[in-house]
Structure 1
Amino acid sequence: MHKQRSDDVYEQRLERIKWFRDARFGMFIHWGLYAIPARGEWVRSMERMSIEDYQTYFDEFDPLRYQPRVWAQLAKEAGMKYAVLTAKHHDGFCLFDSQYTEYKATNTPAKRDLVREFVEAFREEGLKVGLYYSLLDWHHPDYPAYGDRQHPMRDHPDYREVQHEFPRYVDYMHAQVEELLSGYGRIDIMWFDFSYPGFSGEAWRATELVNKVRALQPHILIDNRLGGDMHAEHPVAYAGDFAGPEQGVPRHPVTDELARRLPWESCITLNNSWGYHAQDWRYKTAQDVIRTLVNCVSKNGNLLVNVSPTAKGEIPQKAQSILREVGEWLLRNGESIYGCGEAVDQPKPEWGRYTQREHILYAHLMEQVIGHVSLEGLRGKIKKARVLADGSEVVITPFWNVAVDSFDGPDDIFMNFGYPAQETYPLPDPRDTVIALELKQV
């Protein structure tokens, strides 16, 4: 059988993912029955709730304040370019009107297809839409329970002898994915979660699944959680289009075995919980989000920030406030994020980070410097320098006192916000002041 060349597969992935690499910033939305107990999305597993225990949340689920257009407008105000919603999480509850289960939002007091409303609202705002789908299912009778690593009934003696027809569950899972990708219009991302020992790769019939997904929506992006190794020189079909680190940012750009840069997306929570947790007020600041976004882009990555709507369907006001502040920063500095990536010829500076698009190098100043700011290796390479937020000129100058001492190299140059250049000027934006350095083109 003819094996497709490694560089062909790599180029095809890059073509599919071009919009994603330009977008850089997205919204993750974890929402479901678990918003009612309000102790996170793993509550059923952590507290070993039976189906009967959990049923009370199904019986009362009625998000009367769910207005997906409000969510979409918030994402747009935050400067986000795409959003991913949990169509089905590990508890097996479906936010969409699936014909393959009764365990769905349309059978709760809500009586609404919440996924359809989501995709329509976000598309109207010009945002790309993605759907998260859990490969696990703690509600389905054919998903193995006793002895599993995380099933709520993993150590319940009544489940010790229960027989499961796992292939029947996989059929169900495939059917639901086909349903999502054939009944809701264009879907831009299929975000699968997650594989673990014994339940990975072809246990999901992953090659077959991915072939179905691409047949239905050839443009779609698929994450890397079906179990394949996308870092391999010859990745399997289900290896994915982008890597998905969680709750952290890699130290370096993500690469494959040939050292080629790979697309990736770090997903993080805005507080410390994915699903709504009423007692979790440990929110990250807007500065935290801005600097994490810059960190990701400086390594050719995206940032997907999670919000956790309440049982009533509202995104908490604290989360809204943080995201709007991020959006205010992006309104003035987004040029240094969208369509940008790694500054391959520049080491990480001591005062912050670089991002780059073509011949514009963006210096992200995140640390107050005493005196003027060192630009390592850029002597004679800068055509002009401007504060990105307001367009004001930045002074480019040699070291101020070479007659006494100098700690710059022969290829270094300095910048500052005014004269005398050796004085200390407070950063115009202490969260991240961005300087656009237009480089001379050879």
Structure 2
Amino acid sequence: MGSQRRSVPHDWEWFTKGRYGAFLHWGPYAELGRGEQALFREHLDQREYEERACRWNPQQFDPRQWAYVIKKAGMKYACFTTRHHDGYCLWDTQYTDYSSARQAPGRDFVQEFVDAFRAEGLRIGLYYSWADWRVPAFFDGPDRDPEGWEAMRRYMHGQVEELLTKYGRIDHFFFDGAWPRSYTELGSPELLRRMRQLQPHILINNRLGAADPGQGSHADGGEGAGERSDMGDFGTPEHRIAAEADRLWESCQVTTWRLWGYAYGERWKPADAWLDLLCECAETGDGGGGNLLLNVGPQPDGQLPAPFVERALEIGRWLDIHGEAVFDTDGGSLTEFVTRGRQTMKGNCLYLIIRFWDGRPELRLADLTSPVRSVTLLTTGQPLAFERQGEDLLIRGLPAERPTSLFPVIKIECEGRPETNAWGKQRLWSGDPRRIAEWARTRGTTVFVGGGPERL
């Protein structure tokens, strides 16, 4: 629990320090208003969808406004869907006329996104789908259609090269939709080598195809579906948080109940649920925690939905005060703290992120063995009285009213790196059960009140 942060190359430090990014799922599917996959999930007429997509012309798209909101929200990078599974391209690609540059908008949306977000100092990520639901060869594969498959592979590789040569430095690249193809069929090893030649510093995700043809990969990054676990620089658990011990990871999550693309009538999660995802990513796993890539599906006209803006800015204001407990942290969960909230660490400091504020003036933190220098209610800047009782720390003077509508944070500065005992390192339903037996033995050995000397 709470081990030192994993070592990463210098060019990737921005990712581990940044912690929090925006995922932007946008394309002509937004006009349907039923998420990003309505074409397939409702098996719509391909030609009708294509005709409608070619007429799509979002007049209110202003990426400068997007970038302003994302920056104010406290996010450090953003990943934009350049082409989703419907095949429509949001840049001026030479490989097809099915793009925002050649159809009604007459605009290179990727260029506009990159320019606006870079101007705000945000790191640039690009999403690219292997799959194209319009092209039979992708699903027939090399065995059934070798000539068509080879053309498709050249198309995919060529488009990725375009994206890495037309827009300057790209920091983050997110592949998706490899199913049902294997990494050898996709030519992932060759393409990754070329990508690193073009952009040596780039971070590439793990959705690069199955280990064997026919196994496919799943939207959660391939776990249990044959994905090559040793490929890619970072893992991408989807709709869940799952630490990876040996590489970086980034949980991609929606701000709504389910869909990634814009959907009329979708329900929005509250701001505290978004913030809890971010804090859980920061806390989870050894080696320094993980990142949160939090999604929004912009409206068909190009504007960010008002519920997203409202909640994102609320979290941004919280991060203005409490950001040191999230950004550039070393992971957390040092002691058992589930009954109160979450923990993160940085250097000599332990941060208590209080999800459940009980309004009582005293908080007992068990199993922190390190000597403590100071305790501060970070939310208000108020110094708090504290007392050491063995391996317990009693913190006093807490206000009755929750000092923020989101999560109050207590900062504990220790004389050295925060340390814990066996109870902190071993949790409920894990570790050595003998420690629980010894603890139970302090009461007695029977099922009767008082413990008694008699045994069961």
* TM-score range normalised by the length of the shorter chain: 0.7 to 0.9
Q: CA deviation at 1:228?
A: 7.0
> How far apart, in 1, do the equivalents of 2:131 and 2:198 lie?
23
Of 379, 395, 401 in structure 2, the residue corresponding to residue 415 of structure 1 is: 395
Change over 3 Å in CA distance of 1:379–1:162 after alignment to 2: closer
Aligned length: 392
> How far apart, in 2, do the equivalents of 1:162 and 1:195 lie?
17
Change over 3 Å in CA distance of 1:41–1:168 after alignment to 2: same
> How far apart, in 2, do the equivalents of 1:390 and 1:128 lie?
31
Q: Which whole-Å deviations, capped at 9, do the CAs of 1:381-427 have from their partners, x for residues lacking one?
A: 2100112133111221357xxxxxxxxxx311111335xxxxx7233
Q: CA deviation at 1:348?
A: 3.8
**Residue 77 (1) aligns with residue 72 (2):** yes
Give the residue type in structure 1 aligned to 2:17: D
Of 173, 176, 199 in structure 2, the residue corresponding to residue 217 of structure 1 is: 199
Alpha-carbon contact 1:363-1:436 (below 8 Å) kept: yes
Which residue of the partner structure matches residue 81 of structure 2?
A: 86
Which residue of the partner structure matches residue 385 of structure 1?
A: 375
Task: Give the alignment of 1:139-288 within 5 angstroms.
Answer: 139-140=134-135, 142-144=137-139, 165-196=148-179, 198-227=180-209, 239-250=231-242, 253-256=243-246, 262-271=247-256, 272-280=258-266, 282-288=267-273
Give the residue type in structure 2 aligned to 1:221: L
Q: Which whole-Å deviations, capped at 9, do the CAs of 1:80-121 have from their partners, x for residues lacking one?
A: 000000000001100000001111001221100000000000
Alpha-carbon contact 2:379-2:404 (below 8 Å) kept: no
> How far apart, in 2, do the equivalents of 1:228 and 1:384 lie?
51
Q: CA deviation at 1:266?
A: 0.8
Q: CA deviation at 1:173?
A: 0.1
> How far apart, in 1, do the equivalents of 2:338 and 2:410 lie?
13
Change over 3 Å in CA distance of 1:215–1:50 after alignment to 2: same
Q: CA deviation at 1:345?
A: 4.2
**Residue 439 (1) aligns with residue 414 (2):** yes
**Residue 320 (1) aligns with residue 306 (2):** no
Alpha-carbon contact 1:366-1:430 (below 8 Å) kept: no
Q: CA deviation at 1:264?
A: 0.9
**Residue 110 (1) aligns with residue 109 (2):** no
> How far apart, in 2, do the equivalents of 1:242 and 1:304 lie?
12
Give the residue type in structure 2 aligned to 1:245: P
Give the residue type in structure 1 aligned to 2:264: A
Give the residue type in structure 2 aligned to 1:45: F
Alpha-carbon contact 2:137-2:145 (below 8 Å) kept: no
**Residue 337 (1) aligns with residue 326 (2):** yes
| TM-score normalised by the chain length of structure 2 | 0.81
Change over 3 Å in CA distance of 1:171–1:286 after alignment to 2: same
Aligned to 2:356, the other structure's residue is in SS state coil
Aligned to 1:103, the other structure's residue is in SS state coil
Alpha-carbon contact 2:206-2:229 (below 8 Å) kept: no
> How far apart, in 1, do the equivalents of 2:405 and 2:301 lie?
36
> How far apart, in 2, do the equivalents of 1:228 and 1:14 lie?
27
Q: CA deviation at 1:315?
A: 0.8
Which structure 2 residue ranges, 5 or more long, are not aligned?
Answer: 1-5, 212-220, 418-456
> How far apart, in 1, do the equivalents of 2:368 and 2:145 lie?
68
Task: Give the alignment of 1:366-377 within 5 angstroms.
Answer: 366-369=355-358, 370=360, 372-377=362-367
Q: CA deviation at 1:379?
A: 5.4
> How far apart, in 2, do the equivalents of 1:144 and 1:314 lie?
34
Q: CA deviation at 1:56?
A: 2.9
Alpha-carbon contact 1:266-1:303 (below 8 Å) kept: yes
Change over 3 Å in CA distance of 1:227–1:144 after alignment to 2: closer
Change over 3 Å in CA distance of 1:124–1:321 after alignment to 2: same
Alpha-carbon contact 1:62-1:109 (below 8 Å) kept: yes
Give the residue type in structure 1 aligned to 2:409: V
Alpha-carbon contact 1:78-1:323 (below 8 Å) kept: yes
Q: CA deviation at 1:305?
A: 0.8
Q: Which whole-Å deviations, capped at 9, do the CAs of 1:4-45 have from their partners, x for residues lacking one?
A: xxxxxx96x544421101000010000001011111111110
Aligned to 1:303, the other structure's residue is in SS state strand
Change over 3 Å in CA distance of 1:411–1:344 after alignment to 2: same
**Residue 362 (1) aligns with residue 351 (2):** yes
> How far apart, in 2, do the equivalents of 1:231 and 1:375 lie?
39
Change over 3 Å in CA distance of 1:231–1:314 after alignment to 2: closer
Give the residue type in structure 2 aligned to 1:330: L
Change over 3 Å in CA distance of 1:231–1:36 after alignment to 2: closer
The percentage of counterpart residues that share the same residue type is 35
Change over 3 Å in CA distance of 1:195–1:142 after alignment to 2: closer
Which structure 1 residue ranges, 5 or more long, are not aligned?
Answer: 1-9, 147-160, 257-261, 400-409, 419-423
Aligned to 2:410, the other structure's residue is in SS state strand
Which residue of the partner structure matches residue 428 of structure 1?
A: 403
**Residue 132 (1) aligns with residue 127 (2):** yes
> How far apart, in 1, do the equivalents of 2:145 and 2:130 lie?
21
**Residue 293 (1) aligns with residue 278 (2):** yes
> How far apart, in 2, do the equivalents of 1:64 and 1:107 lie?
16
Give the residue type in structure 2 aligned to 1:343: G
Q: CA deviation at 1:58?
A: 1.9
